[in-house]
């Protein structure tokens, strides 16, 4: 695996690869790699000639400085995993190069609603910092395909918008969530969970599965004879009820401090009024446990 540490060097490499007509797959990460990240690398390898992974713990996307300080750094182990997964290039840029003018010069793209709801509401500024660094990385790597995990669902939606707004040619490939044996979504933050919190954290996916089960029932409940108007009022209420019940269920465990449980339109992330069996839906959760903030989601 080739290790590249400067933008100039990766740019030169990209020019050479493009001249040779090669496709580039790119998985941006903040390190502390786990099997979820490795699935991005593997998928990229299947679909591209060259796979690039970046590791950069981006200071501007941590709305909580304590979270930044505690973010696990495991570079040696990360590199071993990348070599084993046959990643071709590891891009390891420095803070000085990614932020030559300091952190203050944020030229913000306006993602509107997507930036203000759910994660945007609970982590103000997070997506501005994230989009800022992803843009810099995309300009440096110019990938044919960008690989992102479904666990950060809203992040991927914002990156799709970023690519559109900047008229980039990159195609975003969303990869399924990789889960631990008990169902907990893999996350770099999981290593910070103490034993008890780790055992309890599985309740998040259980709640999501519960929501999926209930929503599945709602769509078949009414049958073809239910009128559209009846269906919409009943379902609007039921969606709110399902969200509330799921929120209460997770909150009933004293270990959790739940931020949200939401059922949204999977394409727009807007609230849904009707479960019509056609609109794609996603359920999303954010909750604190043992001082660690976890997120998860499930397509319904
Ligand atoms: O998902 C992440 O690890 C980060 O948000 C990303 C996309 C690498 C940007 O820093």
CATH number at residue 38: 3.40.50.620
| Closest ligand 1 atom to 57 CA | 10
* Same domain, yes or no: 126 and 200: no
Report how far ligand 1's centroid is from the alpha carbon of 30 (Å).
6
Mean pLDDT of 1-12: 97
Q: Is 181 contained in some domain? A: no
Q: Is the pLDDT assigned to residue 40 strictly greater than 90? A: yes
* Same domain, yes or no: 30 and 156: yes
Question: Is 267 in a helix, a strand, or coil?
Answer: coil
Report which DSSP code applies to 176. Answer: P
* Same domain, yes or no: 23 and 162: yes
CB contact at 8 A, 62 and 71 = yes
* Same domain, yes or no: 171 and 214: no
Q: Is the pLDDT assigned to residue 169 strictly greater than 60? A: yes
pTM exceeds 0.85, yes or no: yes
CB contact at 8 A, 166 and 191 = no
pLDDT tens, position by position, 193-241: 999 999 999 999 999 999 999 988 766 555 555 555 544 455 767 899 9
Final residue of a domain: which of 148, 175, 202? 175
Q: Is 79 contained in some domain? A: yes
Please report the pLDDT score of residue 103 as a whole number. 78
Residue among 60, 71, 119, 152 to mutate when testing ligand 1 (max atoms within 8 A of CB):
152
Please report the pLDDT score of residue 17 as a whole number. 98
* Same domain, yes or no: 162 and 229: no
pLDDT greater at residue 297 or residue 215? 297
**What is the pLDDT confidence band of residue 105, given thresholds at 50, 70 and 90?**
low
Q: Is the pLDDT assigned to residue 84 strictly greater than 70? A: yes
Final residue of a domain: which of 117, 142, 175? 175
* Same domain, yes or no: 52 and 200: no
Q: Is 183 contained in some domain? A: no
Would you say the CB of residue 133 lies under 6 angstroms from ligand 1?
yes
* Same domain, yes or no: 149 and 230: no
Q: Is 66 contained in some domain? A: yes
* Same domain, yes or no: 32 and 147: yes
Please report the pLDDT score of residue 218 as a whole number. 66
DSSP codes, 196-254 = HHHHHTTHHHHHHHHHHHHHHHHHHHS-TTS-HHHHHHHHHHHHHHHHHHHHHHHHTST
Mean pLDDT of 40-69: 94
Residue showing tokens 């945007």 = 120
Mean pLDDT of 286-290: 98
Please report the pLDDT score of residue 223 as a whole number. 52
Q: Is 106 contained in some domain? A: yes
Neighbours of 278 (CB within 10 A): 8
Would you say the CB of residue 61 lies under 6 angstroms from ligand 1?
yes
Our count of domains for the chain comes to 2
* Same domain, yes or no: 17 and 156: yes
Q: Is 180 contained in some domain? A: no
**What is the pLDDT confidence band of residue 65, given thresholds at 50, 70 and 90?**
confident
* Same domain, yes or no: 147 and 212: no
pLDDT greater at residue 222 or residue 188? 188
Please report the pLDDT score of residue 14 as a whole number. 97
Please give the Cα distance from 87 to 79 (Å, whole number).
9
Please report the pLDDT score of residue 48 as a whole number. 98
The Cα-based distances of 162 to 28, 93, 135 in angstroms read: 15, 21, 8
Please give the Cα distance from 201 to 204 (Å, whole number).
6
- Where b means 16+ CB within 10 Å and e means fewer, 41-80 reads bbbbbeebebbbbbbbbbebbbbeeebeeebeebeeebbe
Final residue of a domain: which of 175, 210, 239? 175
CB contact at 8 A, 173 and 145 = yes
CATH classification of the domain holding 195: 3.30.1300.10
User: Is 37 among the residues known to form the active site?
Assistant: yes
Please report the pLDDT score of residue 268 as a whole number. 97
* Same domain, yes or no: 84 and 195: no
Please report the pLDDT score of residue 231 as a whole number. 47
User: Domain containing 274: what range?
Assistant: 188-299
| Closest ligand 1 atom to 149 CA | 1
Please report the pLDDT score of residue 230 as a whole number. 47
| Closest ligand 1 atom to 58 CA | 10
Please report the pLDDT score of residue 127 as a whole number. 96
Q: Is 96 contained in some domain? A: yes
Average pLDDT, the chain: 93
Q: Is the pLDDT assigned to residue 106 strictly greater than 80? A: no
Mean pLDDT of 121-148: 96
* Same domain, yes or no: 38 and 153: yes
Would you say the CB of residue 218 lies under 6 angstroms from ligand 1?
no
Structure tokens at 97: 């190069």
* CA–CA–CA angle 187, 129, 184 (5° rounding): 15
Q: Is 214 contained in some domain? A: yes
Mean pLDDT of 85-102: 94
């Amino acid at each position: 695996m080739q290790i590249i540490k400067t933008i100039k060097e990766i740019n030169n490499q990209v020019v050479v690869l493009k001249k040779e007509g090669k496709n580039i797959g790119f998985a941006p990460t903040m390190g502390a790699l786990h099997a979820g990240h490795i699935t991005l690398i593997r998928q990229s390898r299947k679909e591209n000639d060259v796979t690039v992974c970046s590791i950069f713990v981006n200071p501007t996307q941590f709305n909580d400085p304590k979270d930044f300080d505690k973010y696990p750094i495991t570079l040696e182990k990360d590199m071993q995993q990348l070599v084993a997964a046959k990643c071709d290039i590891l891009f390891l840029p420095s803070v000085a190069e990614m932020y030559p003018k300091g952190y203050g010069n944020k030229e913000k793209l306006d993602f509107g609603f997507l930036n203000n709801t759910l994660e945007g509401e609970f982590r103000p500024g997070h997506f501005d910092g994230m989009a800022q660094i992803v843009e810099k990385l995309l300009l440096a790597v110019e990938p044919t395909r960008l690989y992102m995990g479904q666990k950060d669902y809203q992040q991927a939606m914002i990156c799709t918008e970023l690519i559109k707004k900047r008229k980039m040619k990159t195609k975003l490939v969303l990869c399924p969530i990789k889960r631990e044996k008990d169902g907990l979504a893999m996350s770099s933050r999981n290593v910070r969970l103490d034993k008890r919190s780790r055992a309890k954290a599985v309740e998040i996916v259980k709640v999501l599965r519960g929501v999926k089960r209930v929503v599945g029932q709602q769509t078949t409940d009414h049958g073809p004879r239910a009128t559209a108007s009846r269906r919409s009022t009943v379902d609007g209420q039921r969606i709110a009820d399902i969200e509330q019940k799921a929120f209460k269920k997770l909150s009933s465990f004293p270990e959790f401090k739940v931020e949200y449980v939401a059922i949204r339109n999977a394409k727009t992330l807007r609230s849904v009024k009707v479960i019509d069996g056609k609109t794609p839906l996603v359920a999303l959760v954010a909750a604190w446990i043992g001082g660690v903030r976890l997120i998860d989601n499930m397509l319904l």
